[in-house]
A and B are shown apart, each in its own frame.
Chain A
Amino acid sequence: MNVPTEHFLLLAAVLFCTGVLGFLVRRNVIVVLASVELILNAANLTFLAASRHHTALGEANLHGPIFALFVILVAAAEAAVGLALVIALYRLKQSVRLDAASELKG
């Protein structure tokens, strides 16, 4: 497949910006967590595109896939802790909206 590396990077950039926008404008905690997953997937795509580029240049490169593996692992841990926090927030507030938790606002 002869897709140039820039197109991978552009797809990753679009995904990242979509995730950032969702992280900023949504109030639902679950959608915010889903946006974080989008951001992490964009980072993974960038790692893999760089690894593929270096392999095409002739130097076999496996650091990209290994970093992507670690990113997936951290994303799994983050989703588990985040969703446990969602459950705790819902138990406290009967809501999953971010503006329901404003005790630290002062």
Chain B
Amino acid sequence: MAELLFYVLAAGTVAAGVGVIACRNPLFSVLSLLGAFFCLATIYLLAGFPFLAATQLLVYAGAIMVLFLFVIMLLNLGDEEQYAERPPFGKRGLAIAGASAGVLLLIAVFSVGFGSVSASDGDSPAVTSFPDESIDDVQSIAELLFSRYMLPFEASSLLLLATMIAVILLAKRQRGSGAEGAGWPWKKGVEQ
């Protein structure tokens, strides 16, 4: 039953991923991305990672998605943008990009194989059954995070602080700027 659900969710994830890059309207693209996040979170839950599933929903479907939708609605995109969109390099470039992505996919599929990872390779036994209980219990993650991964943890807090400052600086409208696009501190006196 759970296996069937996994394959249904995998198909849903792929369909939503194709929807992200195929929709002309960016609003539909982002909503399709939301569907992909939900399917992936359920897959994490099925695979035994309830904490990661919750984090995925909170951060991706909660915060990042709101950010995307907020920017789309703030900029009032939609009408003119979806008609202006053409493939950037014409038909031939589109074919080349599709072919390279397809080749990438083929390389990935053949290097993964269809039974080579789970099969016994001599020194490790074959995997026949996966555990049903959850793998990522929060206490063990917290202990690892505050002992072995202390330095990356602190670095990530610095990264978030720097991100916050950068975003405020980038998105802030400068005081006294009359025209749109004017008032950049590094564009003072530069002819546009």
Please, which residue of chain A has its CB at the minimum distance from the CB of B101?
A21
A residues contacting the other copy or chain, number (CB 8 A): 78
B127 neighbours in A (Cβ, 8 Å): 4-5, 53, 56-57
- Residue B87 interfacial (CB < 8 Å): yes
Q: How far is the CA of A105 from the CA of B93 in the complex (A)?
A: 19
User: Inside 8 A of A98's CB, which chain B residues have their CB?
Assistant: 88
CB within 8 Å of B: which A43-60 residues? 44-45, 48-49, 51-53, 55-57, 60
Contact A30 B30 (CB under 8 A): yes
Query: What distance in Å separates the Cβ of A38 from its nearest Cβ neighbour in chain B?
Result: 5
B56 lies within 8 A of A72 (CB): yes
Give the CA-CA distance A3 to B132 in the complex, in Å. 11
Taken together as a complex, chains A and B put the C-alpha atoms of A18 and B125 apart, in Å, by 34
Question: Which residues of chain A are within 8 angstroms of B125 by Cβ–Cβ distance?
Answer: 57
Q: Determine whether the beta carbon of A85 is less than 8 Å from that of B170.
A: yes
**Interface size (B, Cβ < 8 Å)?**
91
A17 engages B105 (CB within 8 Å): yes
Q: Is the CB of B181 within 8 A of A91?
A: yes
- Secondary structure type dominating chain A contacts: helix
A21–B100 CA distance with the chains assembled, in angstroms: 8
**Chain B 18-36: CB-based contact to A (< 8 A → 1; otherwise 0):** 1011010010011001001
A-B pair number, CB within 8 angstroms = 251
In the bound assembly, the distance between CA atoms of A30 and B100 in angstroms comes to 23
Nearest neighbor of A85 in chain B, beta-carbon distance? B170
Within 8 A of A (CB), among B68-93: 68, 71-72, 74-75, 77, 81, 84-88, 93
Residues of B within 8 A of A55 (CB): 48, 130-131, 135
Contact surface of B with A, Cβ cutoff 8 Å:
2-3, 6-7, 10, 13-14, 17-18, 20-21, 23, 26, 29-30, 33, 36-37, 40, 43-44, 46-49, 51-52, 55-56, 59-60, 63-64, 67-68, 71-72, 74-75, 77, 81, 84-88, 93-94, 97-98, 100-102, 104-105, 108-109, 112-118, 124-125, 127, 129-132, 135-136, 140-141, 144-145, 149, 152, 156, 159-160, 163-164, 166-167, 170-171, 173, 180-181
